[in-house]
């Protein structure tokens, strides 16, 4: 009987160790993934390729590239190759992000806005990580509602591309920041509770949350805080 109890306690501890290992590796890889993102954004702005990423062609390229990389990451996530594919994806997303960054840098205080958006995103991540570590209840049911929100957001974004409404962009940015901040909490909680056991997949989901929060915050700062010469 004592041996059985010791065995159960051992596996409980092992399970906790596994969750901590996944979380630790996820944080590490997420931090590393910021480097190719910054490099990609710099290349996009410096080379002027960001201006070629506008319009329908840019959207098609972004969607095709993003889904292609995500498919490749899922196929290679159980090997070290998945890490390199993920880092390639973050470089690609940095390129895609360069158009918005170039637009914001066109403001007199553009560099300050970019750094503020970066700091604000880090703050959101810290808050969500802290909440995920103290919330005891199961929030897995939140995922379905968040996915509905993402679908509505995508439809609204596509419509606004053709409408070109500044009010629409404002609403979409606010909703996007709220939805992906909540997604960040959801994904972190999944990792901490052992619902996600692969650190490459975990990094991918958190990276997309962080990227969308950053884009939304940068758009809002550009709308409300951009100073023209």
φ, ψ for residue 59, nearest 5 deg: -65, -45
In a domain, 72, yes or no: yes
The string of pLDDT tens digits covering residues 16-53 is: 888 889 999 999 999 999 999 999 999 999 887 767 66
What domain count does the chain have? Answer: 1
Does the structure show a pLDDT above 90 at 207? yes
Does the structure show a pLDDT above 60 at 8? no
Look up residue 27 and give its two tokens.
């944080």
Sorting pLDDT into bands at 50, 70 and 90, what band is 201? Answer: very high
**Contact (CB, 8 A) for 104 and 222:** yes
Long-range contacts of 122-130 (CB under 8 A, 24+ apart): 124/181, 124/184, 124/213, 124/217, 125/184, 125/210, 125/213, 128/181, 128/184, 128/185, 128/188, 129/188
pTM for this predicted structure: 0.87
CB neighbour class for 29 (10 Å; exposed up to 12, middle 13-18, buried from 19): buried
In a domain, 73, yes or no: yes
Sorting pLDDT into bands at 50, 70 and 90, what band is 167? Answer: confident
The string of pLDDT tens digits covering residues 180-197 is: 999 999 999 999 988 888
In a domain, 229, yes or no: no
- Give the range of the structural domain holding residue 30, as residue numbers without chain letter: 2-224
pLDDT at 56: 64
In a domain, 22, yes or no: yes
The string of pLDDT tens digits covering residues 112-160 is: 999 999 999 999 999 999 999 998 888 888 888 999 988 998 888 878 7
């Amino acid at each position: 009987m004592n041996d059985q109890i010791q065995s159960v306690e051992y596996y409980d501890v092992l399970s906790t160790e596994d969750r901590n290992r996944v979380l630790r590796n996820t944080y590490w890889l997420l931090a590393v993934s910021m480097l190719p993102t910054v490099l990609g954004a710099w290349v996009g702005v410096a080379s002027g390729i960001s201006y070629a990423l506008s319009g329908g062609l840019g959207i098609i390229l972004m969607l095709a590239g993003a889904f292609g990389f995500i498919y490749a990451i899922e196929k290679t996530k159980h090997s070290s190759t998945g890490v390199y594919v993920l880092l390639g994806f973050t470089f690609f997303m940095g390129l895609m992000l360069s158009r918005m960054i170039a637009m914001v840098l066109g403001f007199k205080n553009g560099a300050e806005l970019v750094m503020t958006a970066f700091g604000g995103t880090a703050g959101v991540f810290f808050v969500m990580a802290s909440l995920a570590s103290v919330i005891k209840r199961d929030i897995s049911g939140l995922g379905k509602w968040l996915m509905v929100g993402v679908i509505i957001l995508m439809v609204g974004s596509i419509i606004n591309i053709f409408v070109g409404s500044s009010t629409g962009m404002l609403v979409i940015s606010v909703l996007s920041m709220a939805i992906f901040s909540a997604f960040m909490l959801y994904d972190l909680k999944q990792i901490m509770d052992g619902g996600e056991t692969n650190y490459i997949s975990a990094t991918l989901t958190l990276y997309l949350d962080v990227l969308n929060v950053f884009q939304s915050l940068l758009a809002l700062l550009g709308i409300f805080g951009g100073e023209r010469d």
